[in-house]
Chains A and B, each alone.
Chain A
Amino acid sequence: MNGLFAVYRKELADYFSSYRFVILFALIAMVSFITSYMAGISLRESLAQDAKGSRFLFLMLFSTAGARFSMIQFVAFFGPLMGLFLGFDAINRERAQGTLVKVVSQPIYRDSVINGKFLAGATVITVMIVAVVLVISGFGLALLGVVPEVEEILRLAVYVAMSIFYVSFWLGISILFSILFRSTATSALASVAAWILFSFVVFFGASAVANAIAPVDKEGVDLPTVMRNVQITETVSVFSPMVLYMNATATIIDPKVNTTKSLVLQGPWEQILSARFQSPLPLGQSLLVVSPYVISLVAISLICFAVSYIVFMVQEIRM
């Protein structure tokens, strides 16, 4: 643990006093205000008509798309940028300004530097996400006048935990790039490129791949082909951490969702059943449904950090 907390304290102090953090936080606060306001307004309107009596109203604040997008979609799309902003120059800036050699020549283990930086970044991410969720909650309380149930609070906590892992994954990616590339401009570009690749190219490319492999005819709808098409789309898009995250949070924040599959074949009785008894899943069941995604999300975050760790440990300090 030698030096870990020294690095952690310094990094944290740096983050909180940097313009970068202020800009990032202002941006996120602004967006979360707007989305929650939009969601709140549209919820209040629908509350007057049909949503009355429906449970988990509070969670809908986060999942309802007011004008354009919901808070959840916002975090899925732009949360990665938060992680990337925080980490893209973590190591190479220190290299460039000549402070890295000085720090590691103190009696600390070399991994304390990278661990401290990652932990400080993760702390900042946690602070931001928790703050945003609290802001929206407070806003929601005022706008809707609905008090969250215990289960809603639990679900929100799970959602926050998963979001922290998701954004930390991107923090890990950007720290990896800051180790691999010497110039901060290159690592920033590479980070954004990775974000575009995994969030957009894979996401939208998945259906293109599926259509190429298993094209679906417009006229005669052939069920096995449709199934195959959907399966391929889902398989490819799972390579995107954004899809993992969206799937993982889907049933958590919206209890009525009881599967992450986009196409489910149902017999006539099942259709009647699911139409009649559309009851929300208990939290435990929701967690069970998304556990593969959650585990994958945690796993890629850890793998990414492990790779950065190894690269940093074997790299020449002067390089």
Chain B
Amino acid sequence: MDTNSVITTNGLTKRYLRQIAVEDLSFRVKEGEIFGFLGPNGAGKTTTLLMLLGLTRPTEGSATVCGFEPQRQAMEVKRLVGYLPENVGYYSDMDAVQTLEFIADLNGMSKKETERKIRDVIELVGLGDSDRKKVGAYSRGMKQRLGIAEVLLKDPKVLFLDEPTLGLDPDGAIRLIELIQNLNRERNITVLLSSHHLHQVQRISHRVGIMIKGRMVAEGSIDELAREKFGVGDKEFTLEEIYMKYFQEV
């Protein structure tokens, strides 16, 4: 195990009573990369993320996140990882500042620190002019940006983003993707990005993993995957074509 991998899993398996959600999953995410986590709905991506956060207990296998084991050291992992769940919810009668204050409170941040950081992250995600509006009145794009602000508040080393661009208009989606890319470049935050928008993933990911029916069927850079399937580099093929190729084979 080399030192610069932020996430490693080893034979991670999650079985429910009747079905297998994740089976024998082993993959690696290196420090400072954006890892595109792909797969159809119900492939087990969210279950994997929850296991990596220590929120769900794996049936078998192990994982480490930033050197900590999520099962035993969930608190350390959750301190370092910012998780933006799919369809994240908000307390609609709070405004952005109140929402962030609650998150800061949950993270045990001091009052002085909180105030400054909240101003920073609100500025960063571009909610500066509506930070006192009730979240209930936010558009989907604004909510999603508030979600990013929430996870940035704790200065994460790693971001788990589950479908962050789902339901956003093209403009909003592109701005969010650019924001993620900037965070990765400027703050060296490792990003695990789960998404169905393959062209966006292709644009910013260093490597991708394709998960189908609980198994990781491919892992590597888009160039590597293209070579493996088509024998030529990614200049010729889009991620969509590669993905469909894998999908049809399973």
Contact = CB atoms under 8 A, between A and B. Distances in A.
A317 B56 contact: yes
A192 interface: no
Nearest to A18: B93
A105 B51 CA distance: 11
B50 A106 contact: no
Given A107-B79, A318-B50, A99 B106 contact: no
A150 B78 CA distance: 53
Contact of A98 (B87, B105, B107, B150): B87
Interface string B47-67: 100100101100000000000
A288 B150 CA distance: 54
A105 B79 contact: no
Interface of A: 2-3, 5-7, 9-10, 14, 17, 94, 97-99, 101-109, 316-318
Interface string B145-165: 000001000100000000000
B230 interface: no
B109 to A, nearest CB: 10
B75 A317 contact: no
Shortest 9 CB-CB distances between A and B: which pairs?
A98-B89, A6-B105, A97-B89, A106-B106, A107-B78, A105-B83, A107-B79, A99-B89, A6-B106
B103 interface: yes
A2 B150 CA distance: 18
Nearest to B106: A106
A2 B75 contact: yes
A318 B103 contact: no
B90 interface: yes
Nearest to A108: B106
B55 A105 contact: yes
A102 B88 contact: yes
Which of A9, A103, A106 is most buried by chain B, counting CB atoms within 10 A of its CB?
Answer: A106
A103 B55 contact: no
Given A105-B53, A318-B46, 17 more contacts: A3-B106, A5-B105, A9-B105, A14-B91, A97-B90, A101-B55, A102-B88, A105-B78, A105-B83, A105-B85, A106-B106, A107-B78, A107-B79, A107-B154, A109-B75, A318-B47, A318-B50
Interface string B109-145: 0000000000000000000000000000000000000
B78 A101 contact: no
A317 B53 CA distance: 12
A317 B55 CA distance: 7
B108 A107 contact: yes
Given A99-B89, A318-B56, A107 B50 contact: no
Interface of B: 46-47, 50, 53, 55-56, 75, 78-79, 81, 83, 85, 87-93, 102-103, 105-108, 150, 154
Contacts of B108: 2-3, 6, 107
Contacts of B90: 97, 99
18 contacts: A2-B75, A5-B105, A9-B105, A97-B89, A98-B85, A98-B88, A101-B55, A102-B150, A105-B55, A105-B81, A105-B85, A106-B154, A107-B79, A107-B108, A107-B154, A318-B46, A318-B47, A318-B50
B75 A107 contact: yes
A99 B56 CA distance: 17
Contact of B106 (A101, A103, A316): A103
Nearest to A6: B105
B85 A106 contact: no
A182 B184 CA distance: 38
Contacts of A109: 75
A235 B172 CA distance: 66
Nearest to B84: A102
Contacts of A318: 46-47, 50, 56
A128 to B, nearest CB: 22
Which of A2, A3, A94, A105 is most buried by chain B, counting CB atoms within 10 A of its CB?
Answer: A105
Contacts of A99: 88-91
Nearest to A101: B85
Contacts of A3: 106, 108
A101 B107 CA distance: 15
Contacts of A10: 102, 105
Contacts of B79: 107
A170 to B, nearest CB: 25
A103 B106 CA distance: 8
Nearest to B162: A101
A106 B88 contact: no
A5 B154 CA distance: 18
B53 A6 contact: no
A3 to B, nearest CB: 5
Contacts of B85: 98, 101-102, 105
A317 B50 contact: yes
Contacts of A103: 106
B107 A107 contact: yes
B58 to A, nearest CB: 13
A19 to B, nearest CB: 11
Given A98-B85, A99-B89, A108-B106, A316 B56 contact: yes
